[in-house]
């Protein structure tokens, strides 16, 4: 190919169409600009001498097509070089090779990653394979599957395939590396740690205890990490749970750091007293341990819903069979839609079949059916083959059931819609459920009374055990303080409301007093940026001629109250409760508020940090609507317990970003 450089007149300078700025793109290491006359210029590849449009007058063609020429291997000279490089680095017949595996440098090309002389990296590929298996829960044995081996070989012939033991070791290495990051994260957490404890089982009747830490980090963000997955051979034995928690304490050094435990209802048995005793030995507990062990809010709701569905199973099955009749035949669905149009039913709901392991799908199925009830009632006339007609009594049962399922659906949505819900959010839904049950018992409808009586006992038990901590958490929301407790208790407890309100008020004051007793010395508080009550002669030393800088105090009112004498100063808690509530907004962020006011309320903010991070749910948001216990399949239970723990924990930790990218 004839070069335009040879045809150019001697001494002719390269054309610079755009003199306003220099050419900074990396492509100009591979191209030159040549004038072709008529005010036009072209870009010439230094390797293969091929030319490309660059400018016409003052109009530039850009560099994207030039990048593609280099990056995509269009340049024939570069392609030949790459082939020669692969041949020289490939193993020889005698098993030797000349490869010197060095990582290729990365260069930035207008925001995109531009690889120059990219070389194969076996170790990096092994690490990415292990991460893929962890993140997507692929079986470790997949690396020995013939089809997967064939795929990898065709994708990258240079990759030396690993076996089960090797990839298992790679996964364990990732776990150990990420664990060091979690240890550092927990050590930097200012407050205490709350644990949630969940139990999974396997087809081999083995138990796996999941222990997750919940805490508010130094940036006042609610965070959580799985710490341990402990296999227990006999999950229903007396001290099995205490044994699992003890292992977690030992592995993570949690002595004197745990504030509370929230247990899955399925493991909330009589052995919780031994667990309470174990935790009390390892941690100084507050309020005589009343906050130490609690129920799982989500599990209680799921259990109640399961009872409700079983109580009306016959009517639900009729709805399910009717929808199945319509949805599994195009002809039947067309008749249904024509009838809906003829009857002018305004519903926009689509019929769907439920997944009976997820109760929210059953609720949504029933809601759609109720809105299309009129169509189903007339369907037998339009389609003689339809034999699943529901009676009016059946429809009444379904409609009543939907009313109460909506209450639980909204209550569970608090957890499913928020990755890390703070403890104050649960009170809002819990007291509404309790109020609905109270109203239901006074109904004149026998169907409602029977349904409420079926469901209320379990929730009454939960409310009795947990309303105390729910109330304290909502008091620490500056939008409500004691006012929501007073209003809701008046409606729930009627004549006994004052007694319950007094218990909450006295308990939160007692809890605050215990935090005051644990405050470190003044010097330590000042180093942490918090402000403590100090004596006048310590704050303002006249004898030494020194004064306390104004900048040392955040709030002049706090400064003046301190000068008036500590014996006359209101506590932070009383000051907080007496101040007006913050105007309510849906966008309000409670942790941001406490972050901004932690200097004003140094002790109370420590209490808020511990209380608001209590996990009132022990399950992940993804399993909020699950019915029944969670189980490991045969593959997972066949793995070594330490491998199961590494895979489960590493997946959770990697979701927050690998240690390499932090």
Q: What string of H, E and C letters represents the secondary structure of 121-156?
A: CHHHHHHHHHHHHHHHCCCHHHHHCHHHHHHHHHHC
DSSP lists the bridge partners of residue 55 as: 41, 60
The answer to the question of residue 403 being in a domain is: yes
Handedness of CA 268, 272, 273, 279 (dihedral sign): negative
The answer to the question of residue 508 being in a domain is: no
- HSE of 307, CA atoms in CB hemisphere, 13 A: 17
Answer yes or no: is 213 within a domain.
no
128/339 Cα distance (integer angstroms):
55
Residue 46's SS3 state is coil
Q: Is residue 365 part of a domain?
A: yes
Domain that holds residue 31: 27-73
Q: How far apart, in Å, are the Cα atoms of 314 and each of 84, 306, 326, 403?
A: 73, 14, 19, 18
Q: What is the chain's alpha carbon radius of gyration, rounded to the nearest angstrom?
A: 34
Domain-located, residue 235: no
Compute the distance between CA of residue 283 and CA of residue 257 in angstroms, rounded to an integer. 7
**Are the CB atoms for 434 and 456 separated by under 8 Å?**
no
Site of tokens 């930790």 = 653
Give yes or no for a contact between 253 and 260, defined as CB atoms under 8 angstroms apart: no
Domain count, the chain: 2
Choosing from 404, 420, 436, the residue where a domain stops is: 420
* Cα–Cα nearest to 118, from 50, 58, 72, 55: 72
Of 420, 441, 459, at which residue does a domain stop? 420
Pairing of strands 59-60, 51-56: antiparallel
pLDDT at residue 341, rounded to an integer: 92
- The Cα–Cα gap between 289 and 36 comes to 87
The CA distance from 198 to 296, in Å, is: 9
- Which three-class secondary structure state does DSSP give residue 442? coil
Instruction: Flag whether 187 is in a domain.
Output: no
DSSP 181-224: HHHHHHHT--S-EEEEEEEEEETT--EEEEEEEEEE-TTS-EEE
- 220 has pLDDT over 90: yes
- Locate the DSSP E strands across 358-435: none
**Dihedral through CA 595, CA 597, CA 603, CA 606, nearest 10?**
-20
Structure tokens given for 390: 């529901």
- Above 50 in pLDDT, residue 215? yes
Give CB contacts under 8 A, 24+ apart, made by 27-32: 27/63, 27/66, 27/67, 27/70, 27/109, 30/66, 30/70, 31/66, 32/5
Per-residue pLDDT tens over the stretch 113-150: 444 445 889 999 999 999 999 999 999 999 999 999 99
* Span 63-92, average pLDDT: 61
241 or 318: which carries more pLDDT confidence? 318
The predicted pLDDT at position 449 comes to 92
User: What is the structure's pLDDT at 298?
Assistant: 85
Q: What phi and psi, each to the nearest 5 degrees, are found at residue 228?
A: -145, 150
Percent of the chain residues topping a pLDDT of 90: 46
Chosen domain end from 73, 107, 132: 73
Above 70 in pLDDT, residue 605? yes
**Confidence band, pLDDT 50/70/90 cuts, at residue 287:** low
DSSP-H helix ranges across 283-424: 297-311, 313-327, 330-343, 359-371, 373-382, 392-416
Does position 609 have pLDDT exceeding 70, yes or no?
yes
Tell me the average pLDDT across 543-568.
42
Report the 10 Å Cβ neighbour count for 213.
25
DSSP secondary structure code for residue 457 in this structure:
H
- For the chain, give the mean pLDDT: 80
Q: Rounded to whole angstroms, what are the CA distances from 351 to 14, 355, 401?
A: 70, 13, 18
106 vs 163: which has the higher pLDDT: 163
DSSP code for 626: B
In the predicted structure, residue 254 carries a pLDDT above the cut 80: yes
| Distance (Å) of CA 118 to CA 34, 85, 115, 154, 603 | 29, 10, 6, 18, 56
Q: What is the pLDDT of residues 31-69, one digit of tens each?
A: 888 887 777 888 888 888 888 888 877 777 778 778 777
Confidence at residue 513, expressed as pLDDT on a 0 to 100 scale? 92
Residue 395: is its pLDDT beyond 80? yes
Give the whole-angstrom CA distance, residue 204 versus residue 648.
19
- Per DSSP, 171 falls in state H
**Looking at per-residue confidence, does 99 or 162 come out higher?**
162
DSSP element (H, E) containing 207? strand 207-216
Give CA 632 to chain center in angstroms.
21
Distance CA 70, CA 87 (A): 21
What's the pLDDT band for 23 if we cut at 50, 70, 90? low
Highest mean pLDDT among 458-472, 550-564, 576-590: 576-590
Q: Is residue 69 part of a domain?
A: yes
Exposure class string for 83-115: b at 16+ Cβ within 10 A, else e = eeeeeeeeeeeeeeeebeeeeeeeeebeeeebe
The pTM (predicted TM-score) of the whole model is: 0.73
With a CB cutoff of 8 Å and minimum separation 6, the contacts of 550 are none
The DSSP secondary structure of 508-563, one letter per residue, reads HHHHHHHHHHTPPPHHHHHHTT------HHHHS-TTTT----GGG-S-HHHHHHHH
pLDDT at residue 141 in the model: 95
Per cent of the chain over pLDDT 70 is: 77
pLDDT of residue 97: 47
Name 312's bridge partners.
none
- Of 237-246, 340-349, 519-528, 577-586, which range is least confident? 519-528
Query: Smallest Cα–Cα separation from 609: which of 594, 628, 597, 599?
Result: 594
State mean pLDDT over 154-174.
94
Query: Do residues 30 and 47 make contact, with C-beta atoms less than 8 angstroms apart?
Result: yes
| Spatial separation of the C-alpha atoms in residues 589 and 591, rounded to whole Å | 6
Contact 226, 212 (CB under 8 A): yes
Q: Flag whether 48 is in a domain.
A: yes
Measured in degrees and rounded to the nearest 5, phi and psi for residue 43 equal -95, 130
């Amino acid at each position: 190919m004839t070069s335009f450089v040879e045809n150019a007149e001697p001494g002719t300078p390269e054309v610079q169409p755009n003199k306003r700025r220099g050419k900074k793109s990396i492509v100009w290491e591979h191209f030159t600009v040549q004038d072709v006359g008529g005010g036009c210029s072209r870009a010439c590849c230094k390797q293969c001498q091929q030319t490309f449009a660059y400018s016409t007058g003052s109009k530039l063609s850009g560099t994207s097509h030039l990048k593609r020429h280099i990056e995509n291997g269009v340049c024939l000279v570069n392609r030949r070089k790459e082939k020669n490089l692969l041949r020289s680095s490939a193993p020889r017949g005698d098993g030797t090779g000349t490869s010197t595996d060095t990582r290729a440098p990365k260069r930035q090309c207008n925001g995109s990653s531009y690889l120059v002389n990219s070389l194969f990296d076996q170790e990096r590929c092994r690490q990415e394979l292990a991460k893929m298996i962890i993140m997507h829960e692929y079986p470790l044995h997949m690396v020995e599957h013939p089809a997967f081996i064939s795929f990898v070989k065709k994708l990258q012939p240079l990759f030396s395939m690993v076996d089960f033991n090797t990839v298992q070791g790679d996964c364990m290495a990732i776990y150990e590396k990420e664990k060091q990051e979690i240890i550092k994260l927990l050590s930097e957490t200012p407050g205490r740690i709350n644990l949630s404890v969940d139990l999974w089982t396997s087809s081999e009747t083995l138990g796996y205890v999941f222990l997750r830490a919940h805490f508010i980090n130094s940036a006042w963000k609610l965070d959580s990490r799985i710490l341990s997955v402990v296999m227990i051979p006999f999950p229903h034995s007396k001290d099995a749970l205490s044994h699992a928690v003890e292992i977690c304490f030992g592995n993570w050094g949690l002595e004197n750091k745990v504030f509370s435990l929230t247990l899955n209802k399925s493991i909330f048995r009589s052995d919780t007293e031994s667990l309470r005793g174990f935790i009390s030995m390892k941690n100084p507990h507050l309020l005589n341990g009343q906050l130490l062990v609690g129920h799982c809010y989500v599990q209680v709701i799921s259990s109640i819903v399961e009872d409700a569905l079983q109580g009306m199973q016959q009517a639900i099955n009729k709805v399910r069979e009717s929808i199945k009749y319509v949805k599994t035949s195009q002809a039947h669905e067309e008749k249904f839609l024509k009838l809906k149009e003829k009857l002018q039913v305004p519903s926009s709901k689509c019929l769907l079949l439920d997944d009976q392991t997820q109760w929210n799908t059953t609720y949504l199925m029933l809601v759609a059916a109720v809105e299309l009830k009129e169509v189903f009632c007339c369907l037998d006339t339009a389609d003689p083959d339809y034999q699943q007609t529901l009676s009016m009594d059946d429809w009444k049962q379904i409609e009543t059931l939907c009313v109460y399922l909506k209450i639980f659906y909204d209550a569970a949505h608090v957890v499913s819609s928020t990755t890390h819900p703070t403890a104050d959010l649960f009170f809002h839904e819990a007291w509404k459920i309790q109020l609905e049950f109270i109203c239901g018992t006074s109904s004149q409808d026998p169907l409602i009374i029977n349904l409420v009586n079926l469901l209320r006992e379990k929730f009454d038990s939960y409310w009795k055990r947990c309303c105390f901590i729910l109330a304290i958490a909502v008091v620490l929301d500056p939008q409500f303080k004691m006012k929501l407790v007073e209003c809701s208790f008046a409606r729930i407890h009627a004549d006994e409301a004052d007694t319950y309100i007094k218990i909450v008020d006295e308990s939160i004051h007692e809890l605050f007093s215990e935090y005051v007793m644990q405050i470190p010395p003044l010097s330590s508080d000042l180093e942490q940026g918090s402000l403590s009550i100090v004596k006048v002669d310590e704050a303002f030393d006249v004898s030494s001629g020194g004064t306390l800088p104004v900048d040392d105090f955040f709030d002049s009112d706090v400064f003046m109250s301190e000068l008036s004498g500590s014996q006359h100063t209101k506590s932070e808690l009383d000051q907080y409760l007496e101040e007006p509530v913050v105007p309510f907004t849906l966008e309000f962020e409670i942790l941001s508020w406490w972050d901004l006011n932690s200097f004003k309320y140094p002790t109370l903010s420590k209490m808020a940090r511990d209380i608001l991070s209590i996990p009132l749910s022990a399950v992940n948001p993804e399993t909020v609507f699950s019915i029944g216990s969670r189980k490991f399949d045969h593959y997972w239970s066949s793995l070594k317990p330490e491998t199961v723990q590494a895979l489960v924990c590493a997946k959770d930790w990697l979701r927050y970003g690998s240690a390499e990218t932090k």
